[in-house]
Amino acid sequence: MSTVMSVDEACAAAEAAQQWYADTDLQTRASLLEAIADAVDAARDDLVPIAVEESRLGIERLTGEVGRTTGQLRLMAQVVRDGAFLGVVLDKALPDATPPRPDLRRMNVPLGPVAVFAASNFPFAFSTLGGDTAAALAAGCTVVVKPNPGHPRLSDAIMAVAQQALADVGAPRGVLTMVSHGLQDGIDLVTDDRIEAVAFTGSQRGGLALAKLAADRPRPIPFYGELGSINPIFVTPEAAAERGASIAEGWVGSFTLGAGQFCTKPGLLVAPRDEAMRSAAVAAVGGVPAQGMLTQPIRDAFLHGVSERIDMASIDVLSGGGWDAETDTVHATLLAVPASEVIATPELLEECFGPMSLLVEYDDPKQMLALADVLPGLLAAGIHGNADEPIVDELMPRLVARAGRVLWNGWPTGVAVTWSMQHGGPFPATTAPATTSVGASAVDRFLRPVTWQGMPQAVLPVPLRDGNPWGIPRRVDGVLDPG
Ligand code: NAP
């Protein structure tokens, strides 16, 4: 049986299941997330070959990604059991105060059915059962998935596994449903009045079109779009002098990983003009095998982006890349450009999705500051340097002002799924810079706070009642009760 429903059927089912699901206690909801994770782990050997065929990403990478995906679901189960995400705050009544204060109790509640647009570049971890789905389910929201057209068979197979796991624990079908891929179902989903929020990972163009639809509805809803980023890495003069060749090799490894199809790919390496770094980077690119890309449109967009840049007068082509028609694979492209040109050419600060990166060369370290001042919003940015270099103190606040994650002597690819992770950033990295799409805090996007005023105990939700019946962390009269 296909897992695909019409938009109307899926939204009706999601709406019908919403109250049941929102009312689940923390233990039930966490167990449900774990049941999905266990079922996906058990089906791994059936799912991975489909993903390999559809995405060309390779068995090792995709097997690892299943672990990341089920780990994500289990982290969300932990978040649910912990209970702090409910944000419970109690202020006892002060009838003798001037003016008198009523009893006030605040808690987060689920937004309601969420539409999740699956991404192409992580067929497991950012797709049908990826981070957005896990976070929305953790919040107590039913989910309608809009699958990505890049892996339709995998979407169907993994959804069948999850739906069976949910049925086995007695959950109604509407807790997790899926519509068809194709533009129209996505549009109909975002504009359906039963949907209360949208989570999206993909292109800036697609994300903005859908964000506009969400905002233009008679009843606008939140839209959480993760749209990509250039993730510049800055190399100080001391770091380049001490370890320039190894930095260049690390950079090439990072921007060619997964054929450069990561939103965290370092699209710019900003470094002093240095022949040794150039040659180390060129040698490293020479050792990278040609790779297949996710879909034909993504490949074509990549080749177009490369040729646009190569045609610019200021660009020095260090390694031309190109497409091999016989194997339908692409070679990595390495370009160099003076820092002054990048500052004057905003097009060079746009993302080019795929195995391509720019070596931005400066003559004066102060040019790093001028460049940092014109950067767009970023998911990540970093410095390779030594902590006592004065330029670091000037550069760091500029990166913090623009990026959701700032890293030191490392590479932005590889986003740990943890309690402290921030995967977000100012536009154009995302449409909602105060939020994250990876890590424990991702749950917050699908919640909204409500205050109960002067309410009898029997009418209050259980987590707000006297005596902390669920034993969760709560702030009572300004003092933290760890539960
Ligand atoms: P995409 O084109 O943005 O598509 C993602 C999803 O959005 C698909 O389900 C697509 O529907 C839907 N969509 C796109 N435009 C729409 C519109 N105008 N109206 C309604 N729905 C729309 O992303 P992609 O196909 O995965 O990759 C294309 C480009 O996106 C890449 O080259 C890259 O630049 C970027 N990308 C970014 C990230 C990231 O992490 N931020 C990840 C992957 C890709 P359909 O089913 O009709 O296609």
Q: What is the mean pLDDT of the segment spanning 52-68?
A: 96
Is the CB of residue 146 below 6 angstroms from any atom belonging to ligand 1? yes
pLDDT at 266 over 70: yes
Angle at 53 between CA 48 and CA 54, to 5 degrees: 95
Provide the H-helix boundaries in 257-360: 275-286, 296-310, 339-344
User: What is the per-residue pLDDT for 212?
Assistant: 98
CATH 3.40.309.10 location in the chain? 233-408
The C-alpha angle 267, 403, 317, rounded to 5 degrees, equals: 15
Decide the pairing of beta strands 333-338 and 356-362: parallel
Cβ(152) – ligand 1 distance below 6 Å: no
Residue 473, Cα to own-chain centre: how many angstroms?
Answer: 27
Q: Locate the ligand 1 atom nearest the alpha carbon of residue 206 and give its number.
A: 15
Residue nearest ligand 1's atom 25 by CA: 120
Mean pLDDT of 362-368: 97
Report whether residue 119 contacts ligand 1, using a CB cutoff of 6 Å: yes
- The topology (CATH level 3) of 7-227+433-481 is Aldehyde Dehydrogenase; Chain A, domain 1 (3.40.605)
CB of 121 sitting under 6 A from ligand 1:
yes
Nearest atom in ligand 1 to 226's CA: 41
Reduced to 3 states, what is the DSSP secondary structure of residue 479?
A: strand
Q: Name which residue sits closest to atom 15 of ligand 1, judged by CA.
A: 206
Determine the residue type at 8.
Answer: D
User: Which DSSP helix (H) or strand (E) runs through 41?
Assistant: helix 26-42
Q: What is the pLDDT of residue 2?
A: 80
455, 103 in Cβ contact below 8 A? yes
What are the distances in angstroms from CA 224 to CA 3, 117, 182, 453? 25, 10, 20, 31
Q: Is the CB–ligand 1 distance for residue 263 below 6 Å? A: yes
Q: How confident is the model over 22-45, as a mean pLDDT?
A: 98
Atom of ligand 1 nearest to the CA of 121: 43
The residues annotated as belonging to the active site are 226, 263
Domain with CATH 3.40.605.10 in the chain: 7-227+433-481
Cα of 253 from ligand 1 centre, angstroms:
25
Left, alpha or beta for 158 (phi > 0: left; psi -120 to 50: alpha)? alpha
- Which CATH fold topology does 233-408 show? Aldehyde Dehydrogenase; Chain A, domain 2 (3.40.309)
pLDDT over threshold 70, residue 131: yes
Quick check: 1 pLDDT over 80?
no
The reported pLDDT for the residue numbered 313 is 86
* Average pLDDT rounded to a whole number, residues 4-23: 98
What is the pTM assigned to this prediction? 0.96
The string of pLDDT tens digits covering residues 287-321 is 999 999 999 999 999 999 999 999 998 999 999 99
Place of tokens 């623009």: 402
User: What percent of the chain has a predicted confidence (pLDDT) above 70?
Assistant: 100
**37 pLDDT above the threshold of 80:** yes
Region of poorest pLDDT, from 17-21, 81-85, 121-125, 313-317: 313-317
DSSP β-bridge partners for residue 90: 105, 476
Interval between CA 228 and ligand 1 midpoint (Å): 11
What is the rounded CA–CA span in Å between residue 32 and residue 350? 41
Sequence-ordered list of residues with C-beta below 8 angstroms from that of 317, at least 6 positions apart, any chain = 310, 333, 334, 335
CA distances, 469 to each of 82, 351, 465, 466, 477 (Å): 14, 50, 7, 7, 18
The answer to whether 384 and 396 have CB atoms below 8 angstroms apart is no
Mean pLDDT along residues 12-33:
98
Sequence letter at residue 44:
R
Choose among 211, 159, 165, 139: nearest CA to 38.
Answer: 165
Q: What is the pLDDT of residues 134-190, one digit of tens each?
A: 999 999 999 999 999 999 999 999 999 999 999 999 999 999 999 998 899 999 999
Q: What angle do CA 400, 405, 406 make, to 5 degrees?
A: 60
The residues facing 338 across adjacent strands are 361
Element (H, E) at 48: helix 44-55
